[in-house]
Structure 1
Amino acid sequence: EGKSPKEPFTPETENCDLAWGCIIARYFDADYTLIAHSGQGIVRNWGIREERSEITMRERVARTFDMEETPLWDFAQYRPDIVVIKLGTNDFSTGMPSREQFDASFGEMYALLRRRYGDVPILYVVPQNCDAYYDYLRATIRTLGDPNLHAVPHLAPINDQTDDLGAGYHPNLRGQCKMAAAVIPYIATLAGWPMPQDRPIR
């Protein structure tokens, strides 16, 4: 909810209800479970120079309260029609992780989701400026031979660098709506949901 890219990034202007995932859920009138944590990656977290962080979203996805190791999330209570993952921006804050580190980290999260949710479609949305992850994922998908594992890139030009940005150069509502619009057709296809033509993306 920040008004300018030059504002400092603070929790006061973070609002997950205005982020692209929740916008997509509203568009489809779908229930959702949101797992989000500022600064977290899949291999390593924001500003970390080690090859791999000890705790990232690959661990937090299994928790009920992501800062606490217990209780673990009861996956049996809720089986989604689709799982959507978007991780990578924070991983690249100190350089590009290796293919080996990505495969290991993604493999852990993928195995957990498959073990808990079965054969639901998994869509990995590769963030802007993390193009290498798209190449990594396509190779991983070929290796795994999983027809219900998919990857799509959020290309860098999707957001402009003025009106689409809020605090700390993070996308504002306008930018988030553009990001949602780019992913909606893929989710409609993979989940088998209709795509309402008269419903706003907001």
Structure 2
Amino acid sequence: MRKLSFVLLMAIILPFTTIAQTIAPEGIWIRPTDKNIQYVGRISFKNPESPLFTYPGVQINTCFTGSSLKMVAKPMSGYFMAQIDNAKPFKVSFYAPKDSIVTLATALPKGNHQVKLMYIVEGYELRPEFRGFIVDNGESLKPAPKLPERKIEFIGNSITCGYGTEGANGECHFLYETENHYYTYAALAAKNLDAQYQVVSRSGIGVYRNYNGPKSGNEKNMRYTYDYTLFMDESEKWNFSRFVPDVICINLGTNDTSTKNYDTSLLTDAYIKLVNQVRRNNPKAKIVMLCGSMMSGKQLADAKSCIDKAVETLKKNGENRISKFDFTPADGSLGYGSDYHPSIAQHDNMAKELTAYLKKLMNW
């Protein structure tokens, strides 16, 4: 919770200064513009004093000196995972109306320390904003370690978001408290491969038809939002030069086929259009069409068939850097997360499968 005096101090300072550091009651407030703060993911810097993002997997890293570290964010921004040095990662909550500062570390030994932050929920409704760090008086930030050279982009739906990973079982329903992207196949595979990555994903989204949408499809699907920095926000086009992936993994189709009211010809055509759109913006990347792991029966067979037809057509049209990978379908033996989404154990298995595939494909 935040003291009123500091909230007022922030309100006074923000409009009138652009300096990177400000004296605060708890120490030195270091603003998001500090050159030592490292960002990864689709982030809007329209207001550089308060970077905004809506996709899970956004990362904020830095090093610091001193015995403590606090993080400043917009109240109701949601949840992050934090790791200090090599200690066990822990969840950080900005999910209360008055929470604007959270202590990340205290009573640390003297010397240099590192912090890694990851946004772990979908921020479309929450509109999270990062507003800096607070270090001890007399201390400062230091450059973050260099990021891995390998780069992966993940385009997906609730599976990639981490919907329900911390849910007790399949009968539980969605809560921000149980969504955790940190434990997803995407985050784990990237870690296994020593790669930096970014995510473009949203629960319920499809290639042509969102969850339980009309048979003719939804206009605002993944193809609509992919070109923008923020989800379903046309105010800012994404600058694709900011992140140039080596490989792009597309895990969509679960929502398109989630109810019986779908058209396989429209889905196949939509896969082709999405790949062409991704290719225009990423001319050198390899593209992998992922399938699974939530689908089964006719739904799974139709999705596989549509992807196969799309890949075949794309290859005939000269797309020679595309392939397909099928996850092992979930059968309940590894448990379920909320609403029968993949559990943490299922995501771990998916990550192992994808890691092995990408190692071979990319010669990593």
Q: Which amino acid aligns with 2:197?
A: Y
How many angstroms does 1:96 deviate by?
6.2
- Report the Cα distance in structure 2 between the residues aligned to 1:144 and 1:8, rounded to whole angstroms: 38
- Report the Cα distance in structure 1 between the residues aligned to 2:307 and 2:197, rounded to whole angstroms: 24
Q: Which has the higher contact order (CA 8 A, sep 6+)?
A: 1
Equivalent in the alignment of 1:178: 349
How many angstroms does 1:69 deviate by?
1.5
Counterpart of 1:12 (choices 177, 187, 208) is 177
Deviations 1:70-124 (A, max 9, x none): 2011111221110001011111122263332123322222112111111321001
SS in 2 for 1:33: strand
Equivalent in the alignment of 1:131: 301
Indicate yes or no: 2:268 matched with 1:103: yes
Equivalent in the alignment of 2:167: 2
Decide which moves more: 31-40 or 144-153: 144-153
| Within-5 A mapping of 1:84-103 | 84-95=249-260, 97-103=262-268
Equivalent in the alignment of 2:243: 78
Q: In the superposition, relative to structure 1, how do residues 178 and 53 fare at CA in structure 2: closer, same or farther (>3 Å)?
A: same
Equivalent in the alignment of 1:155: 328
Deviations 1:12-39 (A, max 9, x none): 2111121111110111121001111011
Gaps of 5+ in 2: 1-165
Are 2:228 and 2:234, in contact at CA under 8 Å, matched by a contact in 1? yes
Are 1:47 and 1:93, in contact at CA under 8 Å, matched by a contact in 2? yes
Number of residue pairs the alignment of both structures matches: 191
Q: Which amino acid aligns with 1:165?
A: Y
How many angstroms does 1:160 deviate by?
3.4
Alpha-carbon RMSD:
1.7
Are 1:5 and 1:162, in contact at CA under 8 Å, matched by a contact in 2? no
Q: Which amino acid aligns with 2:325?
A: V
Deviations 1:156-187 (A, max 9, x none): 2xx33254211111112111111111222221
Deviations 1:127-171 (A, max 9, x none): 233232222222222222222111122232xx3325421111111
SS in 1 for 2:224: helix
TM-score after normalising by structure 1: 0.87
- The structure where strand makes up a greater share of residues is 2
Gaps of 5+ in 1: 194-202
Indicate yes or no: 2:330 matched with 1:191: no
- Report the Cα distance in structure 1 between the residues aligned to 2:229 and 2:180, rounded to whole angstroms: 20
SS in 2 for 1:32: strand
SS in 1 for 2:229: coil
Whose Rg is larger? 2
Q: In the superposition, relative to structure 1, how do residues 88 and 94 fare at CA in structure 2: closer, same or farther (>3 Å)?
A: same
- Report the Cα distance in structure 1 between the residues aligned to 2:262 and 2:361, rounded to whole angstroms: 29
